A and B are shown apart, each in its own frame.
Chain A
Amino acid sequence: MACETPKLQPIVPAYHVKILEDSQLDQLQAATLEILEQVGIHCPSEKALKIYAEHGGIVDFSRQMVRLPSQVVMDAMSHAPRYYTMGARQPDFDLKLDGKALYCATDGCGVETIDFVTRQRRRSNKDDVATMARVSDYLSALSFYWPIVSAQDHPETAPLHELDASFNNTIKHVQSETIMGEWTARYAIEMVDVVAGSEQVRRQRPPLSLLVCTIAPLAQDRDGLESALLFAEAGLPIGFMSMVNTGSTAPATIAGTLVTGDAEIVSALVLIQMAHPGASVFHSLLPGIMHPHTGDYQSSTLEGSLLYPIGAEMAHRWGVPTLAGIFGTDAQVPGWESAAEAASSLLLCALVGAETGSGLGLVESCMLLYPESVLLDSDLYHRVRNEAAGLDTSSEAMALDVIKEVGPRGHFLAHRHTRANLRRRQFSDLTAQPRQGGGYRDPQEVAREKVDWILSNHHPQPLDEIQKEELTRILKAADREKRQ
């Protein structure tokens, strides 16, 4: 018996902030344009280089370098839509990127899992992707799903198996960050057609989108670009993410890091618009700060969490939606550090108007899955969601008649207004669970139990049998072709 998936609860901010002044955004944009025009981008794809050359890019085929005059960039970017819809298996779960709400996803592509039963640390597999898709389907904080870990038990075709596990276990929109290369992309699009049912639905309410990482500094990945071009052709949204690292793959100053990453992203967005004007694209700038002793990418340093919301403001300056960086703790285990690092950056992303964000549920800088992390992160998410929702000052909320009735020295316990409204107050599922004998239970223990409860009780609407069989057939064909 299928269960109903709880309604999405995106963050709908009642108020906004602007971190950068317009003049600062202009300075950053001018710097990006200067880099694109004077330094250029390394692009190791003949196909992409030809597209650039045909549309005004200055291409050096032997060095695989492209430089883009400012006017060419601005012309291409003028075609990118500011708003569009990312579809789900059921229309109620479509994500309307209209600037009013922030929709969030899990983190993705971790490589290890704390086993759901044994609690031993092990390599991640396809079952983990499926299990966490089901948990995510239940959680209202999660509006779309990133396959949260890698299906390493299917090494050659893992990205396609991750899609299969996702589509079979959540009705929500799926975004992959691992489909690389034309060959894999063609199979993925075939799978999307099975889920969408028709080309029209695929284009109007695309159930899959793709995120491609650039290579810092100032380079593109051939496979990434070529799969992105196919996705754009098929009407599926695609985004480009730069993870430039201050001091190693970018200058050791924040502004310099931002513009290096921005140039990488914008060069790819320009390519997509040249090839497929009007294609749905998004911008994702997630710079890190290098630890001077280890060289590690640190996403949540004391000043680092300002960078993701600024990335969102830069995306909007180019007139495209953003995928903002949220959560993504450097902590080794779920706990104080993971909670300390998350909330203010998420709130700022919402208040600057980010449309989408990823991701909840991993620790160790997006590498390790603790199943309960996604519950803990969801709790923080709802705190931020409520915080951003503003204050109700209607006469019912102001309750002046009630205050007058009770007067000085009274209490409000017995009043009808209290009975009606106290139920509407939201308490945490995790921190406000009474313990037998008094006090409250350990939230992390409650979170672990809740994962078990979801897995025992939540069974999302399955795909039709025919769709399941079709996905299996496509996977088999891909596996077979890969083995040959």
Chain B
Amino acid sequence: MPTQYPPLEPLRTSYRLKFLTDEQLDSLQKATLEILEKTGVRFPSQKALSIFADHGAQVDWESQIVRMRPDFVLKALSTIPRFFRMGARNPAYDLQLEEGVTYFTTDGCGVETIDFDTRERRPSCKADVGTMAKISDYLPSIGFIWPMVSAQDHGVTAPLHEIEAAWNNSVKHVQSETVMGEIPCRYAVEMSAIISGSQEEMRRRPPFSLVVCTIAPLVQDTAGIEGALILAEAGLPVGFLAMPTLGTTAPATLAGAFAMGDAEIISAAVLMQLHAPGAPVFHSLMQAWADPRSGGYISYSLDSRTRYAPVEMAHHWGMASLGACYGTDAHEPGTWQGAGEVALDPFLAGLVGADIVTGLGLSETYTLLYPEQIIMDDDLYQRARYQLMGLEVNEETLALDTVHAVGPGGHYLGQRHTRNHFRESLVRGITHQIGKDGKYREPRQVAIEKIEWIRKNHQPEPLETEKQAELRRILAAADKEIRKG
């Protein structure tokens, strides 16, 4: 018997922040256009180069570098929809992107798991993807599913097994960041059509989307870009994620890194629009830092200013944005660092109006899954959600009659107004749970128990048996074709 589902709880922002002035946004956009025109971006794909050439971009076939004029870029981008729908198995969980609403997902593609039962550290597997999809299915903070870890027990077809595990354990929209290349993407489209029931329904309410990483500086990935073209053709949303690292693959100044990463994203978005005008495409830029002493990748420097400025850059292009939250460099949940680095993230992402955001639940810079981490990150998410709600000021909440009745020096415990509102006055997260000894419990332990409760009690609405069989059939065909190839 499926569990009763709680409704989604996206961030709804009652007040807004603008990090960048219009002049700054114009100047960043101008810089991107200049990079695209003068420096260009390398597309190591004959298919992509042909599309660019057919539409009048300047293509150097030998170096595989494409340069494009500003008017060419702006014309291509004019067909991108600012808002679109990300469908779900259950229509109640469709995400209609709109102003002032932010949907979150988990983090993705970790490679190790702290085992749910033994608590031993081990390589991640498909069953972990299924279990975490089930937990994400239950949490109202999670608007859509990223397969959280890699299905390493399925070799080269792991990405397709990850999305099957996600659909079999959640009714929510599934977004992959690992399906790469034309053939796997054709299989993913086929699986999506099974979930939707028809090609038309898949275009109307796409149950699947894809994030493709660019390669800094200023290069696209062959398999990534060719796979993205397949999705765009099918009307499934596709996003491009630039991850410039200040000092190694990007200039050591933030604005430079932003402009360069933006050029990577925009060049790919232009390609999608040339190939499939009107295709839903989103923008994502997640900068990091190189530790000057070790070259190590650092997600959270002490100066992580304007972490969400790329969201405004996306909106300035008229595109939806995938923001980046969490992803602590801490090695374990429940540490000072694990909260200190990320606690501001969901609040800022909501404040700046990101459309979709990843992602809760991993440690060690997106590589390690502790099952309880998602609950701790969820607590931070809920703090942000309440902070962004604003304040209700009206006769009932001002309670002046009650203030009169109590007067100076009294107390409010016996008042009817207190009884009416007391339950809603304290919203308790994992930090304010009282133990048998009357003391507050350790939040991490509360989180571990909550994971256990969800595993035991939550039964996601199952996928229809025929659809399950169809997905298995497609996977078997993919295993056969791709592994052989």
Contacts and interface: CB of A to CB of B under 8 A. Distances in A.
B256 interface: yes
Contacts of A392: 253-255
A347 B400 contact: no
Residue from B20, B292, B298, B403 having most chain A Cβ neighbours under 10 A: B403
A443 B413 contact: no
A406 B376 CA distance: 41
A140 interface: no
12 contacts: A217-B411, A247-B422, A251-B417, A252-B421, A259-B398, A302-B427, A335-B336, A344-B383, A403-B39, A420-B252, A422-B292, A434-B293
B302 A386 contact: yes
A477 interface: no
Contact of A253 (B218, B309, B396): B396
Contact of B404 (A39, A399, A415): A39
Given A252-B417, A383-B302, A428-B302, A408 B219 contact: yes
A403 B263 CA distance: 11
Contacts of B302: 379, 382-383, 386, 426-429, 431-432
B103 to A, nearest CB: 19
B417 to A, nearest CB: 6
Given A255-B398, A256-B403, A412-B217, A302 B40 contact: no
B261 to A, nearest CB: 11
Given A15-B17, A251-B399, A396-B253, A423 B411 contact: no
Interface string A428-450: 11111010000110011000000
A251 B421 contact: yes
Contacts of A18: 15
A345 B343 CA distance: 10
A424 B252 CA distance: 9
Contacts of B347: 344, 347
Contacts of A345: 387
Interface in A294-319: 294, 298, 300-303, 305-306, 310
Contact of A217 (B39, B292, B306, B408): B408
Contacts of A139: none
A426 B341 CA distance: 14
Contacts of A335: 334-336, 339
B307 A387 contact: yes
A255 B392 contact: yes
A252 B334 contact: no
Task: Label chain A's interface by main secondary structure.
Answer: mixed
A384 interface: yes
A225 interface: no
A204 interface: no
A249 interface: yes
Interface in B231-290: 246-256, 258-260, 289-290
A35 interface: yes
Interface in B415-429: 415, 417-418, 420-423, 425-429
B412 A432 contact: no
Q: Which 3 A-B pairs give the minimum distances between C-beta atoms?
A: A399-B256, A256-B399, A339-B339
Contacts of A219: 408-409
Contact of A35 (B20, B40, B403): B403
A110 interface: no
A207 B384 CA distance: 37
A383 B386 CA distance: 22
B27 interface: yes
Given A15-B19, A347-B344, A397 B34 contact: no
A337 B445 CA distance: 12
A337 B339 contact: yes
B425 A247 contact: yes
B250 A389 contact: no
Given A305-B383, A330-B432, A39 B426 contact: no
A324 to B, nearest CB: 14
Given A302-B379, A391-B255, A398-B253, 12 more contacts: A217-B406, A218-B409, A219-B409, A256-B403, A291-B432, A298-B432, A347-B348, A384-B344, A387-B306, A403-B256, A422-B252, A430-B337
Contacts of B217: 403, 406-412
Contact of A27 (B14, B341, B398, B420): B398
Contacts of A386: 302-305
B407 interface: yes
A412 B303 CA distance: 20
Interface in B423-481: 423, 425-429, 431-432, 434, 438-440, 443-444
B247 A443 contact: no
Interface string A107-150: 00000000000000000000000000000000000000000000
Nearest to A423: B292
A24 B391 contact: yes
Interface string B318-358: 00000000000111011111111101100110010000000
Residue from B41, B256, B376, B409 having most chain A Cβ neighbours under 10 A: B256
A302 B429 contact: yes
A90 interface: no
B403 A251 contact: yes
B20 A412 contact: no
Given A17-B16, A376-B336, A391-B309, A302 B386 contact: yes
B290 A422 contact: yes
Contacts of B306: 387, 390-391
B380 interface: yes
Contact of B426 (A290, A410, A412): A290
B304 to A, nearest CB: 6
A330 B425 CA distance: 17
Contacts of A407: 39-40, 217-218
A256 B376 CA distance: 31
A271 to B, nearest CB: 15
A420 B247 CA distance: 10
